Amino acid sequence: MTRTARRLASAGLIGLLGWAVAPSAHAQEPAAGVVLVGIAGLAWQDVTAEDAPTLHSLVGPNAVASLTVRTVRARTCVVDGWLTVGAGRRATDVQDLEADDQPDRYCRDVPEPIVLADGDVAVPGWDELVLAQQEQTFDTRLGLLGDRVAEARSCTTAVGPGAVLALARSDGVATNYAPDPTDVDEALLTTCPVTVVDLGSVPPPGEPGDEEAEAAAAEARRVAVSTIDAALAELLAYVPADVAVLVAGIADSAPTEPPEDEEPSTIAPSALRVALAAGPQPNGVEYGPNWLSSPSTRWTGLVQLTDLASTLAAYAGVTDPSEGTVGRPWRSVEEHPSSTNETIDQLVGTDRATHVFRTQSGPFFQILGVAEVLFFVAAVLWLRGHPTGRQRLIRLVQYAALGAASFPVASFLANLSRWWRFERTGTLLWTTVLVITVVVTVLALRGPWRHRIYGPPGAVAALTATVLAVDVSTGSNLQHASLLGLSPLVAGRFYGFGNIPYAIFVASALVAAAALGQLLLDYGHSRRTAALAVAAVGVITVVVDGAPQAGADVGGILATVPGFAVLVMGVAGVRVTAWRMALVGAIAVAVVALIAWLDWLRPATERTHFGEFFADLVDGDAWPVVWRKAQASIGTLQRSPYYGWLVPVAYGVIIWLVRSPGVGGVQAAVTRWAVLRPLIWAGLVTGAVGFAVNDSGIIVPGLLLTVGIPLVVSAIADAQLQDGQTEQRPATEAPERRPATADPGVPGSASPPR
């Protein structure tokens, strides 16, 4: 039996027995070290038994995951990836290599290190790379991993030029360098506890639409993968059994040629890459046949490129391996399928889901927002010019509005079908979403709540808020790679509430609370009782949104508390004043500070966004975070031009409608749902604050309106329908009267009936 075969057999046997020894983790000896093998561009689609037999054989008995390699740029080049490995934060190559004031549209090759007199090697152009990080707002410190390992009186070995970028200290110098993977032997791999090997790159796919180019690129990828896989087999033959092996596709793109002026970028598109771990974890427990995860993602089967710095530091014996990074060490969690092909199919399916999100999510919601505006405007104009057939058109408006409001919850519930595991991914997704949307709409219109105008929108809102609350409290699984959820390619957030789900959640919670408050008033309960019920919904909303174990949303608390305060004051009949809102704002800040402090007291590896932000405050590093979020927020006005001009116009129209006493449709709705007016003000306040404190900027109020407007419009349409039915009744029939309460505390509100 060859050494390669013995290595593979050993890895397989240890992996298969990993579950049996896990309970006695305290008795395990720490790992002797780790070998990280970086392969730029490697995706799970490349790992087949024919083209990559070594990698394919490692999947079944060992831990695997998808790897998100997002760095400063959306498409990660090979230099970006290697620098990020060493920094533990998003890093970038110099982005204007040609000095033409334009971002580069290609990836340069990794620079060859300079051999120094003492045998160490230095990265050429290191000072320019450091300056490139300072021009960003990620507080990235190149050479962090090398410095931390040196401070722990340990050492590293770099094999290949990419490995030097990852292991260089902050002065740009690395020790123990071997230029070629063929120079590796057992002595070299055991010189230091951390060895990083640059095993090359997989060329990018061909340009879509050009079948000949795609076929040629696919063949080039197969040849490259086969060559790399053979080199990996030779490397594994020298790795001792007590040393871990990590394989990572550390970038989206291999080095590429500069395109001509009219040609598109040659950088490979962003995608999920390979992450594999064999042998012992830092504490000595085998990775085993499990999914990989990380406390930074809390997502079974997903890890980050930024996790690698802390993972390697843990193997080097660094006391706090996560210090200075945003990543956390890889760890194995639950078992993956016993079948290698099934495991790879699931990983490929996750990548398919991210592709659907990348290509369809943003455009769809821009189209939906514009379509809603055009539909409602057209309906109003038609009603003014064609009074006949009025009831049928209003009914159509009600149905369409509830259908649009039901779409978000349908998009989350669609994840229960695991649509990404099938070949016709997009078709299955949209079919599932449309079917669920129809079901939710029909239930809203046919339930026992249908006799009150706030019943159907309240039912849709309550269902949406409940589904999202349960989801974030159980791991955010319905948000993972869904159309409106959390994208591992964007990599802004992996757990809790992202800004888009937050906007949907808080809009639904406000509408549901307003419906509940009106229901209590209609049944004769006092304003105080109704206000307390609305406040209770608000407290639950804030807890779900802000708890580190659930939403973990800093900006969400700051936006939700003022919104619900306006709604509670409106239901209670208390006037909204500037000093009361200032007090509410101070309470929101105090709640955030308390949660952040408590989260900061936990171990660094268990902290969420709250604790990390508090740590930045303590260290004096909070300003770059705040500035980056502010820049991102303002930047959404350019990246989302539809929302950029639609949202201000919508705010103006809504404020005019709410303050104008003569708009018949709104007045008819307020007569039956007096809480509607403070609800609208609450939504406007929440959206405005959400724009100010979240890095998704205009997207927050945009999505809040996209969900909230249809819910309100459905109630207005229902009120119009009921007025029409009242007009058609015989004079001897008295229309049903329901108690109505207005809000003296909100501008433009009428006085309550006496």
Write the pLDDT tens digit of every residue in 97-112: 777 777 788 899 999 9
Query: Are residues 701 and 631 both part of a single domain?
Result: yes
Higher pLDDT, 617 or 556: 556
- Model pTM score: 0.82
- Is the model's pLDDT at 144 over the cut of 90? yes
- Let me know whether 563 and 633 are in one domain: yes
The enclosing domain of 160 has a CATH number of: 3.40.720
pLDDT digits (tens, 9 = 90+) for 360-407: 777 776 677 677 777 777 777 676 655 555 778 888 888 989 998 999
553, 686: one domain: yes
- pLDDT at position 137 is 77
Q: Average pLDDT, stretch 410-422? A: 89
Which two structure tokens, joined as six digits, stand for 504?
A: 């949907």
In angstroms, rounded to a whole number, what is the distance separating the alpha carbons of residues 553 and 584?
Answer: 18
**In terms of pLDDT, which residue wins out, 651 or 231?**
231
CA-angle at 153, arms to 148 and 159, nearest 5° = 70
Query: How far apart, in Å, are the Cα atoms of 273 and each of 23, 67, 235, 567?
Result: 31, 5, 21, 46
Question: Within a 10 A sphere around the Cβ of 383, how many other Cβ atoms?
Answer: 16
Q: Two tokens at 654? A: 């809504």
Quick one: 552 and 698 in the same domain?
Answer: yes
Specify whether 280 is located in the same domain as 411.
Answer: no
Is 354 inside any structural domain?
no
> Does residue 237 sit in the same domain as residue 372?
no
Domain presence at residue 744:
no
68 within a domain of the structure (yes/no): yes
Whether 328 and 378 map to the same domain: the answer is no
Together in a domain, 313 and 442: no
Q: What is the pLDDT of residue 247?
A: 97
Same domain, 453 and 532: yes
How many Å apart are CA 352 and CA 481, to the nearest integer? 9
Do the domain assignments include residue 431? yes
Indicate whether 345 belongs to any domain.
no
Question: Does 390 reside within a domain?
Answer: yes
Q: Do 398 and 451 fall within a single domain?
A: yes
313 and 389, same structural domain?
no
Tokens encoding 469: 């609350």
Burial class (CB in 10 A: 0-12, 13-18, 19+), 392: exposed
As for how many domains the chain has, the answer is 2
Does 355 map to a domain? no
State the pLDDT at residue 540.
95
Which CB contacts under 8 angstroms, 24+ apart, belong to 608-615? 608/495, 608/496, 608/548, 608/552, 609/493, 609/496, 609/552, 609/553, 609/554, 610/546, 610/548, 610/552, 610/554, 611/548, 612/326, 613/554
Do 619 and 694 fall within a single domain?
Answer: yes
The per-residue pLDDT for 626 is 64
Query: Domain limits at 432?
Result: 360-728
257 belongs to a structural domain: yes
What is the per-residue pLDDT for 7?
A: 42
> How far is Cα of residue 97 from the mean position of the Cα atoms in its chain?
31
Percent of the chain residues past pLDDT 90, beyond the cut = 47
pLDDT at 16 over 60: no
pLDDT score for 27: 45
